[in-house]
Amino acid sequence: MVTSRYFSGSPNKQATTVDDVASSLAKASTPASTVASKVSSTDSTAYLKSMKFSEVFSYFVMGLCTLNKPILNLCIKLFPYTPMPLIRAVVYKIYCGGETIDEVKKTGDRLVSRGINNMMISLTIEACNGNDNIDPEYIVNETVKSVSDILVPHTVKVIEESGKEINAISPGYVALKPTGFSKNSAIVLKHFNEPQYAAEFEELVERAAKVCQTVYDANINLAKQFPSRSTPFVVAVVDAEKHELQEGVYELQRRLYAKFNKPNMPVSIVGTLQMYLSQSADLLALEEKLAMENNYRLGLKLVRGAYIHTEAERKSIIHSTKEDTDKNYNQGISYCIESILERRGNESTIGHLVVASHNADSLKLATTKVFNETAGANNNQHNVVLGQLLGMADAITYDLIKTYKIDNVIKYVPWGPPLETKEYLLRRLEENGDAVKNDNGFPLVKAAVGEMFKRVFRLA
């Protein structure tokens, strides 16, 4: 366990205990409830006005499926038996980017029309649960292609056509599932430091590095085309896995940091920390310490955690209450934001942050810290990006864009073969069911019906 942490902004960079870190964060953090009270109330279903009629109908269906907990649970049980054509016709378009690169491009354009300038794309194929269809080389090649064919042209197009300040456009992100880079991924990640799995782990690292090299090279080349931009153009994000696999994932992240996150350069690699883990504050301290000792920069995506219902030892590894998790999450994003904003260039150890959350208070807290009078002249504010899953927390996304007039909001866009995206949709219902239910239910049914009737009446 790590017992010390170094503040990169301290004049003498003296060591401070992790307990002191938590204490200072708590004092520095604006209470989320205070932040929320500063935000003007908006219509929670106003975002439907920016949707196509077919998308509004899809939200209507999701509202019906989430009227209450028993109905949601029934839908989860029936979902595996639902024909894919029906899923595609009804809900696929609001939660998935498509099956092909061309379809994902169109999804990106639709997001731009809603004020969401960029996205985090994720090829949904993985092998954590024994997927026999996995081909790691195919995943590498398709992911590399998605960077070159989707993210780079999309980001350049938005920069050139938006009329906004060049750093205000968020990077395009590509999510890397560690379990997609090896047929034997779960075993390899779990036993990565054992001799019999060393060669397979090195192969897994090499495959991930091939994608990251594409991202790094794109940033170098685009920086020549747009020399006034100080933030990255594209970023590779290593997704989290179940806790028993995470030590291998952390090692993968550190290898990629060291190779691609060079000092005094924009961050190209972001790793994920799950803040529902009780040891996550220590882990954040360790990651910053290792980065300073090994002379590389950190990019971080902070999530609350997606595996709460499937972690085998969740009682011993996660915070005992949701309130503790929320506090830990808000302290974590506050510390990272303050670390990023303390410099105006690319000198800070923590160089990039993705606040991946559907929690309105956390998102508004981050926004208030980043977009204020003291941070206004600091280009590093654009190294903080807010992200939500496609099709979820749309009311919050709409509120952030319309109320705060900010540009640093992205959507996580899964894409890939129908079978794989169906599995993704099922996991979203299982892992984020409560969030889905809170977002939808009867208010969404009522709002969607009203919006559809308005459009039909205008067409009549």
Beta-carbon contacts of 135 under 8 Å, excluding residues fewer than 6 positions away, are none
**What DSSP string runs through 361-429?**
HHHHHHHHHHSSTTTTT-GGGGGEEEEEETTSSHHHHHHHHHHH----EEEEEEES-HHHHHHHHHHHH
Contact status, residue 371 vs residue 319, Cβ threshold 8 Å: no
Q: Cite the DSSP H helix spans in 147-275.
A: 152-162, 185-190, 195-225, 246-260
For residue 314, the model assigns a pLDDT of 60
d(CA 353, CA 300): 5
For residue 306, the model assigns a pLDDT of 63
For residue 392, the model assigns a pLDDT of 86
Q: Which residue has the tokens 């997609």?
A: 180
Structure tokens at 384: 């903080």
> What does the buried/exposed string (b/e) look like for 153-187 if buried means 16 or more CB atoms within 10 Å of the residue's CB?
ebbbebbeeeeeebbbbbbbbbbbbbbbbbeebbb
Q: Which residue in 254, 331, 233, 234 sits closest to 298, CA to CA?
A: 254
| pTM confidence score | 0.87
d(CA 396, CA 398): 5
**pLDDT 10s digit of each residue in the chain, 460 long?**
333 443 333 322 333 333 443 443 344 343 433 334 444 345 677 888 888 898 899 989 888 888 888 888 898 899 989 998 998 888 888 899 999 999 999 999 999 999 999 999 999 886 555 555 678 999 999 999 999 999 999 999 999 999 999 999 999 999 999 998 988 888 999 999 999 999 999 999 999 999 999 999 999 999 999 999 999 999 999 999 888 899 999 999 999 999 999 999 999 999 999 998 889 999 999 999 999 999 999 999 999 876 555 555 666 678 888 899 899 999 999 999 999 998 878 889 999 999 999 898 999 899 989 987 665 668 889 999 999 999 888 888 888 888 878 889 999 999 988 888 888 888 777 765 555 656 677 888 899 999 998 888 875 4
Q: Which residue in 338, 309, 391 sits closest to 61, CA to CA?
A: 391
The type of residue at 442 is F
Structure tokens at 190: 């779990």
Contact status, residue 390 vs residue 100, Cβ threshold 8 Å: no
Q: Which residue in 203, 210, 206, 209 sits closest to 184, CA to CA?
A: 203
Q: Which residue has the tokens 């892992």?
A: 431
Give how far Cα 383 sits from Cα of 43, 180, 346, 394, 418, Å.
Answer: 29, 27, 10, 22, 34
Beta-carbon contacts of 120 under 8 Å, excluding residues fewer than 6 positions away, are 172, 173, 174, 175, 237, 354, 387, 410, 411, 412, 413
Specify which residues 301 forms β-bridges with: 272, 354
Query: What residue ranges define each of the domains in the chain, with the CATH number in brackets?
Result: 4-8+20-41+98-420 (3.20.20.220), 43-96+440-460 (no CATH)
